[in-house]
């Protein structure tokens, strides 16, 4: 139950920043998709007192809403393929609704985002000075409204999730897994059905002010099997997305 609530909170935070980016001057498509994701996320955050089945449904819905918000914005995008006992594939573009990180915002933009999320300015400035993440180290949404993977890096400071090449662990666990500092949690949907990680890797080959590129490989298991043994398989893929930041792109190298 706790993990499902965390999924709702994760998508709520990501949707809130997408709305912040859209309010900064994005086009109408970005704005409408961000508002839709935000509405769904707000429902998720307010549902923690419901039963486990209700929260499971909310977690799946919020995952769909976040993936559906993807918009084009440079780079080659993201694609993946399922194998083993699970079949399917997905491909999606980049853009502010698909990928973002604190690294791609200026200090002024981070302060504005933090105010939008209700954080105090003094604390945010202290966190920035200490090289702590204000909103999130990295969120990367890969796929469409029915099939794909959402990645969320877990890190407190820049040292936990630095610029540059590095391979990160995707832990085994339920929806979003049990990621600790220096790991990457995931939400996985296959043809509308939620799956959980059985362990994997998130390999970053490039991560700087121009964008992020790399690959991933995750062993997966059906989260809520209707009957019998849950389906198992593997999902592998690649990503290559340009720096997005806010709509001003002030934190990106051009």
| Residues 53, 221 contacting (CB under 8 angstroms) | no
pLDDT in tens, 121-180: 888 999 999 999 999 899 999 998 899 999 999 999 999 999 999 999 999 987 666 789
pLDDT over threshold 50, residue 3: no
pLDDT over threshold 90, residue 233: yes
Structural domain boundaries in the chain: 71-242
Highest average pLDDT, of 108-112, 118-122, 228-232, 234-238, comes from 234-238
Rounded to 10 degrees, the C-alpha dihedral 204/181/193/93 comes to -30
Mean pLDDT of the chain: 76
What is the percent of the chain with per-residue pLDDT over 70, rounded to a whole number? 69
pLDDT at 250: 82
pLDDT in tens, 18-61: 444 444 433 333 333 333 333 223 323 333 333 443 444 444 44
- Distance, in Å, from the CA atom of 10 to the CA atom of 120, rounded to the nearest integer, reads 20
Tell me the chain's radius of gyration from C-alpha atoms. Answer: 17
């Amino acid at each position: 139950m706790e993990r499902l609530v965390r999924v709702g909170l994760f998508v709520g935070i990501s949707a809130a920043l997408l709305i912040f980016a859209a309010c900064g001057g994005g086009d109408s498509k970005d704005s409408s998709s961000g508002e839709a994701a935000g509405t769904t996320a707000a429902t998720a955050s307010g549902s923690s007192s419901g039963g486990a089945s209700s929260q499971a449904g909310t977690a799946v819905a919020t995952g769909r809403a976040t993936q559906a918000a993807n918009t084009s914005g440079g780079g080659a995008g993201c694609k993946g393929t399922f194998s083993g006992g699970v079949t399917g594939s997905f491909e999606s573009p980049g853009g502010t609704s698909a990928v973002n990180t604190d690294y791609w915002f200026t200090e002024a933009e981070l302060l504005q985002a933090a105010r939008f999320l209700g954080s105090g300015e003094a604390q945010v400035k202290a966190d920035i000075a200490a090289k702590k993440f204000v909103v999130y180290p990295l969120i990367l949404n890969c796929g469409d409204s029915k099939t794909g993977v959402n990645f969320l890096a877990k890190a407190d400071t820049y040292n936990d999730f630095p610029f540059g090449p590095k391979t990160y662990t995707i832990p085994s666990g339920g929806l979003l897994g049990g990621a600790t500092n220096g790991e990457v949690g995931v939400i996985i949907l296959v043809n509308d059905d939620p799956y959980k990680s059985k362990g994997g890797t998130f390999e970053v080959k490039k991560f700087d002010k121009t964008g992020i590129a790399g690959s991933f490989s995750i062993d997966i298991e059906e989260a809520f099997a209707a009957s019998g043994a849950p389906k198992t398989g593997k999902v592998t893929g690649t990503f290559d997305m340009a720096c997005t930041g806010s709509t001003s792109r002030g934190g990106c190298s051009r």
